[in-house]
Copies of this chain bind each other. A is one copy, B any other.
Amino acid sequence: MSTLLPKPSILILQTPLHTHRSAITSLTPFNSTRQRSKRLPSLIVNARAPSQTKEEGSSLPSMLTDLKNDKPTQTNHSLVDSWREIHGSTDWARMLDPIDPLLRSELIRYGEMVQACYDSFDFDPCSKHCGSSKYSRRHFFEELGMSGCGYEVTRYLYATSNLDMPNFFKKSRWEKVWSKSANWMGYIAVSDDETSARLGRRDVVVVWRGTVTGLEWVADLMDFLKPVTSEGIPCPDPDVKIESGFLDLYGEKDATCRFSKYSAREQVLTEVKRLVELYAKEGGEEVSISIMGHSLGSALAMVSAYDIAETGVRGDCPVCVFSFAGPRVGNWKFKERFEKDLGLKALRVVNMHDKVPQVPGMIFNERVPQAVRRFVDGLPWSYSHVGVELELDHKKSPFLKETGDVSCYHNMEAHLHLLDGYHGKGERFVLASSRDPALVNKSADFLKDDYLVPPNWRQDENKGMIRDDEGRWTQPERPKPDDHPPHTNYHLQQLGLDSN
Contacts and interface: CB of A to CB of B under 8 A. Distances in A.
Given A465-B438, A472-B438, A127 B454 contact: yes
Given A174-B449, A175-B449, A449-B173, A463 B473 contact: no
A468 B18 CA distance: 13
A180 to B, nearest CB: 15
Contact of A21 (B439, B462, B471, B474): B471
A468 B38 CA distance: 13
Given A436-B472, A465-B457, A128 B452 contact: yes
Interface string A417-452: 000000000000000001010110000000001101
Given A42-B468, A461-B461, A174 B473 contact: no
B458 A42 contact: no
B173 A473 contact: no
Contact of A455 (B42, B126, B453): B126
A460 to B, nearest CB: 6
A124 interface: yes
A461 B460 contact: yes
A463 B471 contact: no
Please give the count of copies of this chain that the complex contains.
Answer: 2
A470 interface: yes
Contacts of A176: 452
B475 A452 contact: yes
A478 interface: no
A25 interface: yes
Contacts of A450: 175
Given A173-B449, A462-B457, A18 B434 contact: no
B463 A454 contact: yes
Nearest to A25: B471
Interface of A: 18, 20-21, 25, 38-39, 42, 48, 124, 126-128, 173-176, 434, 436, 438-439, 449-450, 452-455, 457-463, 465, 467-468, 470-475
24 contacts: A20-B467, A21-B467, A39-B472, A42-B468, A42-B470, A42-B472, A127-B454, A128-B452, A174-B452, A175-B449, A176-B452, A436-B473, A438-B473, A439-B473, A453-B465, A453-B474, A453-B475, A454-B465, A454-B475, A457-B462, A457-B463, A459-B460, A459-B462, A459-B463
Given A438-B473, A454-B465, 6 more contacts: A42-B474, A436-B473, A438-B474, A453-B473, A459-B459, A459-B460
The 9 closest A-B pairs by CB, nearest first: A126-B454, A461-B461, A438-B473, A457-B463, A454-B463, A436-B472, A21-B471, A457-B465, A25-B471
